[in-house]
Structure 1
Amino acid sequence: MMTIGGAASLVGISVRTLHHWDAIGLVVPSGRTTAGYRVYSDADVARIHRVLVYRELGIALSGIAAVLDDPTADPQEHLRRQRAELTEQIDRLQGMLKAVDRMLDAGGKGIRLTPEQQSEIFGASWRTEWVDEAEQRWSGTPQWSQYAERAAARTPDDWRDLTTEVESFNTDLAAAFRAGTTPGSLDANTLAERHRATIAEHFDCTHAMQVCMARNFTPEYYDHLAPGLTIWLRAAINANAATHGLDPETARWE
């Protein structure tokens, strides 16, 4: 038999925790000394270990008690289930670790292209300092983390493909505007979704985020393709968002 202090030290938890588990009936020590002190048997300690495993899996204490006290429960099946969930957690953490490694490999900025490659792929008007400015503004946000991770994994050919997609979208966008396409029409909504898809290549973009971005559009964004196109695209984005149940006037970055 083991005192409460000895049991707590053995499993790496506090005496206070064991007192709490005793009070709620989760782990009740099997015996007491003649002086009335709690003492734990080997079976009690084994139960503590099982509680700790379930707790690490995120199961509430009430749920753990239900599992451990179920007379029809198969201990081996519970262990297999625990192992499967732990394996899933390990896989998820390994994926996160690889993502962090890719971001570190990219120097935090994501684009693994030389200045010459950036100019060749993105065009003569591209400025490498734009990445630094974006990092200063958005660093630390979930969207920047996604951008940096995805950018770090891309090859020069991947960037060329993305640039080609954007150029194709811009061509179709300007053509629709010149043809008098009405914001809110099926064709305009399709273009609004294509615009959102180009953003989603870099980070997950909701309709609300797209609307918030469109609020900050200035003429140099799209008016070089056709005068007035920037305002038209903003209207198309807002109309498309409305069809998805979003009020463009109250949309927030979420």
Structure 2
Amino acid sequence: MRYSVRQVADFAGVTVRTLHHYDRTGLLAPGGRSRAGYRLYDDADLARLQQILFYRELGFSLEEIAAILEDPQAGALDRLRERQRRLAEEIARLQRLAEVTERAIEVQQTGVPMTPEERFEVFGDIAFDLSYATEAQLKWADSAGRREAMARAAAHTKEDWRRLMAEAADWRADLLDAHDAGEPADGERAMDLAERHRAHVTRWFTDCPPAMHRRIADDFAADPRAFALVVPAPQQRPGLAAYLCEAVHANAARRPSGAPTPSEEEQP
């Protein structure tokens, strides 16, 4: 039995234009023609089309499919194995993207309840990079401190954020002044600034023992997106993130583990 191009297109779920293209390229030439010159496909043609569509679904190019169909024994198995490997990698990538997207949704849902205008008014140049936020969510997903920080951040009022950002701006100005004045990172002034930052995190987000503060500082030094959360890019200096990281580590080393500072003892 023979079938018209329209019938085959309907059977296979492809367009007539696609079948015409396959014919022009020699990938699938119909087995016959009607008296009027119209394409007619037989069962062997349909079987070949089924193979073409199978390989297309796997992502092979038309050139690759033509080579496979020309000689199915010449490298077809190797091609399929390579495609299987690439598909497995793509599945893993998409799974990762799905997880990151889910975390990004969580970040947005537990974010600061402000309009875009209010966010700009309060945060100014502080950049909250969503790509860093979602990676941080994945990295610290099982951290009780991370969960507490997100919950407390979501509960802050607009006025809370004003106070928080004003406090951070004062600290940032003092940090820049110390750095520009050449104060050593392991000196008293720099370490006191590191301690103020640690107390700031504890006051507004979550308890921040020295070990946690060191990890936060390591992120500042390693990832510009993290450092931009405390020092906007226009205010940054070369080496400033490393300077703060060193000061945090020095401050952690000078304090007995778990011993509260006066700033922590005064907190409500």
- TM-score normalised over the length of structure 2: 0.47
Larger radius of gyration: 2
Q: Greater share of helix residues, 1 or 2?
A: 2
